[in-house]
């Protein structure tokens, strides 16, 4: 049986910031459980795009903008993922522009149903305790659902990752509750990914 593959997608423009830190906590938990992992940074991936946001140049999407680019490499990776952990800082109560731009260009993956039944979860960080984290988590969930993904939420009392995902207050390195929630979210994603392996046609 192939090794479970989990990808984390960092929607922050900071490779070493609060969001990246929490995503790495989640990936470390996946590694402990035996998964292969990768961490991708949206801002870095979009650097070589002539137009960094989707202009809906074709319908259905032919993926021309990603050909021969970092974006194509990233799409190939997440197309092979069993689980996807998506993280974003809170920007005006929703996801970052970098994450939205990356995801809008994933129309090509939706055309080919590449993310159908891939297991997903969300992580976010806000400047204050009630700084738009839940609306940002919901926005990420909406993005995942549009790809036909399986979204992981709360678990049992001893596996409580937060009702709709892991939410932190910056600095995330000092938010012990959020760090624990990220690890539990990762555990849930890994477990559900293993249980639903047959649903993904690869």
In the block, which residue shows the tokens 């995942």?
A: 144
Q: pTM for this one?
A: 0.94
pLDDT value of residue 156: 57
Of 28, 20, 17, 4, the closest CA to residue 119 belongs to 4
Could you state, in chain order, the average pLDDT of each consecutive group of 10 residues for the chain (202 residues)? Answer: 91 97 98 97 94 87 87 95 98 97 94 96 95 96 97 71 83 95 94 95 77
In the chain, where the domains are located:
5-196
Q: What was the pLDDT predicted at 58?
A: 86
Find the Cα–Cα–Cα–Cα dihedral 171, 174, 180, 185, rounded to 10°: 10
Question: Which residues partner with 120 through β-bridges?
Answer: 84, 151
What's the pLDDT at 65?
A: 84
Per-residue model confidence (pLDDT) at position 158: 65
CATH code, 5-196 = 3.40.50.360
Tokens 């992580």 identify what position?
123
Per-residue pLDDT, 165 = 86
């Amino acid at each position: 049986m192939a090794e479970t593959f989990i990808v984390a997608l960092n929607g922050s423009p900071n490779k070493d910031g609060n969001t990246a830190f929490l995503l790495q906590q989640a990936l470390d938990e996946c590694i402990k459980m035996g998964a292969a992992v990768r961490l991708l940074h949206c801002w870095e991936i979009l650097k070589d795009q002539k137009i960094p946001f989707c202009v809906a140049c074709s319908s259905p999407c032919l993926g021309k903008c990603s050909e021969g680019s970092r974006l194509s490499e990233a799409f190939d990776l997440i197309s092979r993922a069993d689980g996807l952990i998506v993280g974003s800082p809170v920007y005006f109560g929703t996801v970052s522009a970098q994450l939205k731009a990356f995801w809008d260009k994933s129309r090509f993956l939706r055309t080919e149903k590449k993310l159908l039944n891939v297991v997903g979860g969300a992580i976010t960080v806000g400047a204050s305790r009630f700084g738009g984290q839940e609306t940002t988590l919901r926005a990420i969930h909406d993005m995942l659902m549009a790809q036909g993904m399986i979204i992981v939420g709360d678990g049992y009392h001893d596996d409580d990752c937060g009702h709709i995902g892991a939410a932190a207050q910056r600095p995330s390195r000092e938010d012990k509750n959020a760090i624990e929630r990220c690890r539990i979210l990762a555990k849930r994603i890994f477990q559900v990914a293993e249980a639903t392996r047959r649903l993904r046609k690869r």
